[in-house]
Copies of this chain bind each other. A is one copy, B any other.
């Protein structure tokens, strides 16, 4: 049998935070692992979210044998609604992950005709030429898996997002035995999570959060409101446990939090006896000290419950002075301002706000350096491919692996779009394929390009000025005075002294010069504004001649 090339095609998550998407190819056949989204940078104006650029796959639909999802976080499943529009292939996931995918697809009216295949950690699936072992890993969501991918060209281990939690909330530790077994089989390459590569030591266990919640619940004089991600099912369990221990009652609030908690209870990933659950309406009628509310908005999103509470615009309930608010998440990189704005605003409304580092009410779900070292030593790969993280973190992960004895040349540090090939167990960097950003804005996917983004940036800096001119045909004469309108440029009250001389400038240009009138006026206007204000608004001259 002829040996084929094994290709690893990173379409997302390498050199960035989020939108993880990896393609494995042997011969012609392909398997996709994860299809996440990422949140836009602050300078990606008006963008709702970003999905991977999978144009490389668009004419290869029949080569794709399956999509595997390692766990249910947005940066791993968030682009699923877009993917299923283009590729009709089976999606493999563990029960909870499948549940989260179903909730998402159903909400987008795209669940029909999607083939979802449940596979449990410890089980094996054959996906095209890939024999895939799903093995349990600990992360900040239950039912996360890594993958052992046996190919004719060798065994790959794909860690997924993980940390080695020795006391996880659900008691289910990582499948060390399976990792050891891989090392016995001989691992060609390990693709491992680099998110925390610059964090020394071990990542703390989720159990740390239990102790912190215990202190908070013991001291809270009134209601306790806990904000977290809607997909953080294990945090829901921790809050439920603390609620029950302290004889309080728990309400979930926010559509996605309610949907996900229901689904997780149905699938037995979340265990809260019916008698301990209340609705927000019931909570509003109960003594405050008995009430715990768990809701969305830990990042301060304007439209989330916590975002609305901070702004005093939440419909069902408001902040009261004795409330204790627990922000059970860290800020997503780039979102620090919104996160802290929300905390400050909640304090201003009288709440006592608890967040890390005030108390350890959140810990990272990703491997720190010692976890990373353990994984490498368990798996003993020939090649290490750092994945998940900005270039600086991939680099740091590589440095770590090199210090452990993996040769420098066996650790490719690459970013999205750089194909890695293995042939006869030897690695080489192959061609680059598109691996950039696809912006989703409203219902548009990819119709906001980088030039449009730069236009938005220009508008955002100094606003615009529109000048409306009506001329007599073929005469150097205005039919009406120039009409000047500004938006985002300068306060109306300050603009008079700026506009009067401009009218004169425009009138003089009209009188003197009919060649390139529009561009002459635009140029003169810009120059006038710059010399007067040192700003560069976008200037548009509309000329009509009759």
Contacts and interface: CB of A to CB of B under 8 A. Distances in A.
Interface of A: 15, 41-43, 45-46, 198-200, 333-334, 336-337, 340, 343-344, 347-348, 353, 355, 357-358, 390-392, 395-396, 415, 441-444, 447-449, 451-453, 455-464, 466, 468, 470, 479, 483, 485, 487-491, 494, 532-535, 538, 540, 542, 544, 546
A395 B348 CA distance: 10
B344 A390 contact: yes
Q: Is the interface of A mostly helix, strand, loop or mixed?
A: mixed
A448 B491 contact: yes
A326 B485 CA distance: 48
Contacts of A485: 540
Given A490-B447, A494-B447, A546-B546, A459 B452 contact: no
Given A42-B337, A442-B533, A392 B452 contact: no
Given A15-B344, A353-B392, A544-B544, A455 B463 contact: yes
B466 A358 contact: no
Given A340-B390, A347-B392, A348-B391, A357 B459 contact: no
Contacts of A448: 490-491
A45 B461 contact: yes
Contact of A357 (B199, B415, B532): B199
A455 to B, nearest CB: 4
B460 A457 contact: yes
B442 A534 contact: yes
Contacts of A457: 460
- Shortest Cβ-Cβ A-B pairs, 6 listed: A442-B534, A460-B460, A455-B488, A447-B494, A456-B488, A46-B461
B441 A535 contact: yes
A477 to B, nearest CB: 13
A357 B200 contact: yes
A546 B464 contact: no
A491 B452 contact: yes
Contacts of A490: 444, 447-448, 452
A510 to B, nearest CB: 15
Nearest to A537: B46
